Structure 1
């Protein structure tokens, strides 16, 4: 009895994207929609923009405008650029590697001379 083999075509290197954006970018757009909705509710219920309530405008139109902006912003940049950019804003900064450490007062390596 022979074993029947069925070829399965898989490409594990496929980059998943929607509207040219990565998954993290779409989460950013959804978070922006929620934030804009909350901010619009603080203004009041009587505010209108272009004939529609402000909360509807902020919840739908602002993220819809953010998608083309993100597509243009990320054009020609590598995958994960936005995530790395956000991480760089929150990571500690190393301005100069030659500068003396203000917190390290003793020599780090035993037997090293102080300058």
Structure 2
């Protein structure tokens, strides 16, 4: 007999976020890092230089926002939400196709 662990189906999370969410936070940090290089070096926010604020504080604030945003939602919600923005929209299957001008099926007359 081999013992089977009961925690095989547990969710893997870090700071309450899934792996995909942490990838989003890292991507936000990279974008903020790029934007910080285009900002004037003398700008300050709350006494912190703006480039440091954008590189570290904004992604750190994104983690609690994502935790609150995803509260009560199923696993993979953020990935499905992003996919829904980029997926083609099909509103109704009965609607006539505006790009299809020729009949798709041609019936032969006898």
What interval of TM-score do these two structures reach, taking the shorter chain for normalisation? 0.7 to 0.9
How much has 1:110 moved relative to structure 2?
6.0
Of residues 32, 37, 41, the one that matches 2:33 is 37
Task: Provide Cα deviations, 1:48-103, integer angstroms capped at 9, x if missing partner.
Answer: 11222111111111111111110110011000000000001011111222210122
RMSD of equivalent CA atoms: 2.0
Looking at CA atoms only, which structure, 1 or 2, has the larger radius of gyration? Answer: 1
Of residues 14, 24, 27, the one that matches 1:28 is 24
Q: 2:99 aligns to what?
A: 103
How much has 1:38 moved relative to structure 2?
1.1
Of residues 57, 60, 64, the one that matches 2:60 is 64
- The normalised TM-score by structure 1 is 0.81
Q: Which segments of 5 or more consecutive residues in structure 2 lack a partner in the other structure?
A: none
Of residues 84, 89, 99, the one that matches 1:93 is 89
Q: How many residues align structurally? A: 108
Hey, which bits of structure 1, 4+ residues long, moved more than 3 A? 5-8, 105-111
- The normalised TM-score by structure 2 is 0.84
Q: Which segments of 5 or more consecutive residues in structure 1 lack a partner in the other structure?
A: none
